[in-house]
Amino acid sequence: MKHFFLLLSVIVFSTITSAAQDTKVLFVGNSLTFWSNMPNTFEDICNDLGNPTEVSVHAPGGTGLVDHVSNPELYNLFRQGGWDYVVIQPGTGESGGPQYGGTPIDTSLGRIHQLLDSIYRYSPCAQVMFYEISNGVTGDEQANIDQYNASMEVIRNNISTFAGETNLSMAPVGEAFKSSWNNNPSLMLWGSFYDVHPNSKGAYLIACVFYASIFQKNSFGSSVVTSYLNLEEAQYFQQLADSVVLTDKSVWGLDKIHITNFRFEQNSDSEYQFVNFSQSYDSLKWDFGDGSISYEENPVHIFDASAGIYDVVLNTWKEGCLISKTMEAVVTSIPPVEKSEPLTVYPIPCENTLFIKGKQAKSYAVYTPTGQLIMRGKGKHIEVSTLKKGVYHLWLSDDKQTYRTSFVKE
């Protein structure tokens, strides 16, 4: 079968910059990157979904890695530093590679490493991903679709090679286009047949793919709608992007991206279960905002100082790079703390079995000093032989109130 590869014409250079926000993203590419206002749409989706983002773009039309490695304007952007994410879009000849008469893979990799050296010099914690472009289409007959799929297999393999050889990730834009085109050839994502540039619908799909790839979250739910696109169509593209990107992140190397995230469940007025959803990190630290910290993966914490709102911060590190996530925990009341003379526990220190003397408790709970729940049960004795030596908090509850004390494991 005869294959083809659509080439870009030289287009005007475009740069997009917004006010400083939390996450700084730099797109490096050509007209495929900035076409149909994609970077602004991406930024709008990020901000709409609660991820404040600043986007900058270096995308001279008709260029590729061969041009970027010698462009002083790009290196000036690198020198600004502070980039959280850098997206590299190889040119069409570099994405298609030698199979389509383009650049040899090793040559492109050499240029990629040259760019990475400069990126990491000024932004040592930047996370870099490759933009897998979509080829254009020549028609909607089965032969055209087969031809398109063959070219996309080549592009995917080449971009996967770039990501694999550099231990980085890729945003599967081309895979999302391929999925849409194979399922519904009547839905045009390009300006026309034989045009590799995305139309407004294609650009919206690209923006959703980048949101899901960078933030590892669903783009579905965004209220951002661009021209020539209604809400129903926008939701279709959101769900398509999320499905392609997030169903198996490891396929695209996205599991290598350092992300800090967590959620929590409120067990009682003052007790919270924290669940860590971070990925690709070396170490972590929780700060509960009340003077307590924890190094546990999924701690239970009791806020026993006073009712109020606490800023809970999860810090994770990867190769010395820190990413923090903050959420508010609302503590409505503090359980009563009461010790009744008839209620005692013994022996202290205890080696094997801790006994409860006096008032019968309905249940008990044992916590570490940092608030991690390690044991629950009922009865008048507690087996502690498997616990490590140290001080533990003991909560005993009946139908009306909670009693709190401590014991020492020997």
DSSP 24-75: EEEEE-SHHHHGGGHHHHHHHHHHHTT--EEEEEE--TT--HHHHTT-HHHH
Q: What is the mean pLDDT of residues 118-122?
A: 97
CATH number of the domain at 323, please: 2.60.40.10
Q: Which one has a higher pLDDT value, 96 or 267?
A: 96
Highest-pLDDT range among 52-61, 291-300, 336-345, 347-356 = 52-61
Residue 243 has pLDDT above 70, yes or no: yes
The pTM of the full predicted model, rounded to 2 decimals, is: 0.77
Q: What is the pLDDT of residue 398?
A: 66
- The answer as to whether 339 is a domain residue is no
Instruction: Find the farthest-apart pair of alpha carbons in the chain and give their distance in angstroms, rounded.
Output: 90
CA distances to 138, 147, 189, 267, 297 from 181, in Å? 12, 12, 8, 47, 42
What number is the average pLDDT over the span 90-115?
96
Q: What is the pLDDT of residue 270?
A: 79
Distance CA 347, CA 358 (A): 14
* Residue 239 forms part of a structural domain: yes
Residue 152 has pLDDT above 70, yes or no: yes
Distance of alpha carbon 64 from alpha carbon 69, whole angstroms: 9
Q: What is the rounded average pLDDT for all residues in the chain? A: 88
Helix axes 200-215, 38-48, angle to 10 degrees: 50
CATH number of residue 120's parent domain: 3.40.50.1110
Residue 109: inside a domain: yes
The answer to whether residues 63 and 165 belong to one domain is yes
Q: Are 115 and 242 contained in the same domain?
A: yes
Torsion 195-196-197-202 (CA) sign: positive
Q: Percentage of residues in the chain with pLDDT exceeding 70?
A: 89
Region 88-98: mean pLDDT is: 97
> Does the pLDDT value for residue 228 go beyond 80?
yes
For residues 306 and 181, what is the distance between their CA atoms, to the nearest angstrom?
Answer: 57
Q: Could you give the CA distance from residue 187 to residue 211 in angstroms, rounded to a whole number?
A: 22
pLDDT band per the 50, 70, 90 thresholds, residue 402: low
Instruction: Round to whole Å and give the CA distance between 176 and 169.
Output: 16
Q: What percentage of the chain reaches a pLDDT higher than 90?
A: 68
- Asked if 245 and 311 sit in the same domain, the reply is no
Q: Are residues 224 and 280 in the same domain?
A: no
The answer to whether 237 touches 278, Cβ cutoff 8 Å, is no
Whether 356 has a pLDDT exceeding 70, the answer reads: yes
Work out the pLDDT band at 118, boundaries 50, 70, 90. very high
Give the tens place of pLDDT for each residue, 9-51: 333 332 223 333 489 999 999 999 999 999 999 999 999 999 9
The predicted model gives 303-308 an average pLDDT of 76
Query: Can you give the residue range of the structural domain that contains 309?
Result: 262-331
Q: List, in sequence order, every residue forming a beta bridge with 129; answer none if it has no partner.
A: 87, 169
pLDDT at site 341: 45
Q: Using CB atoms within 10 A of its CB, is residue 20 exposed (0-12), middle (13-18) or buried (19+)?
A: exposed
278 and 319 inside one domain: yes
Confidence band, pLDDT 50/70/90 cuts, at residue 396: confident
- In this prediction, residues 383-389 reach a mean pLDDT of 89
Shared domain for 142 and 54, answered yes or no, is yes
pLDDT of 370 > 70? The answer is no
Query: Residue 151 has what pLDDT?
Result: 97
pLDDT above 50 (res 229): yes
Reference 259, options 217, 224, 308, 287; nearest CA is 217
In a domain, residue 14? The reply is no
DSSP state of 259: B
pLDDT of 308 reads 85
> What's the total number of domains in the chain?
3
What pLDDT does residue 106 have? 97
User: Does residue 84 sit in the same domain as residue 223?
Assistant: yes
Residue 12, pLDDT score? 30
- Judge whether 38 lies within some domain: yes
pLDDT band for position 335 (cuts 50, 70, 90):
low
CB 93 within 8 Å of CB 7: yes
Cα 47 to the chain's mean position, in Å?
Answer: 15
Residues 90 and 53 in one domain: yes
Of 238, 256, 274, which residue sits at a domain end? 256
**Alpha-carbon gap, residue 193 to 188, rounded angstroms:** 9
Q: How far apart are CA 312 and CA 105, in angstroms?
A: 46
Q: In terms of DSSP bridges, do strands 271-276 and 262-266 run parallel, antiparallel, or are they unpaired?
A: antiparallel
Q: Are residues 63 and 199 in the same domain?
A: yes
Residue 367 pLDDT grade (very low, low, confident, very high; cuts 50, 70, 90): confident
Q: Is residue 402 part of a domain?
A: yes
How far apart CA 292 and CA 264 sit, in angstroms, is 17
pLDDT over threshold 90, residue 359: no
Tell me: pLDDT of 202 over 50: yes
Identify the domain boundary among 232, 256, 280.
Answer: 256
Give per-residue pLDDT as tens, 313-324.
999 999 999 999
Q: Is residue 77 one of the residues assigned to a domain?
A: yes
Q: Which of 331, 361, 376 is the last residue of a domain?
A: 331
* 4 pLDDT above the threshold of 80: no
Give phi and psi for 63, each to the nearest 5: -105, 175
Residues 268 and 179 in one domain: no
Averaged pLDDT, 75-88: 97
Which residues lie closer than 8 Å to 105 by C-beta, 6 or more apart? 97, 98, 158, 161, 162
Asked if residue 213 belongs to a domain, the reply is: yes
Residue 77: its pLDDT value, please? 97
Q: What is the pLDDT of residue 2?
A: 35
Residue 141 has pLDDT above 50, yes or no: yes
Q: Is the pLDDT of residue 60 over 60?
A: yes
Give the per-residue pLDDT at 371: 66
Of the pLDDT bands very low, low, confident and very high (cuts 50, 70, 90), residue 1 is: very low
Give the pLDDT mean for 137-151.
Answer: 95
3-class SS of residue 166: helix
Res 6: pLDDT: 43
Q: Are residues 201 and 290 in the same domain?
A: no
Residue 116 has pLDDT above 90, yes or no: yes
**Mean pLDDT throughout 336-352?**
69
Nearest to 187 by CA among 153, 145, 155, 217: 145
Amino acid, res. 310? Y
Q: Are 223 and 294 members of one domain?
A: no
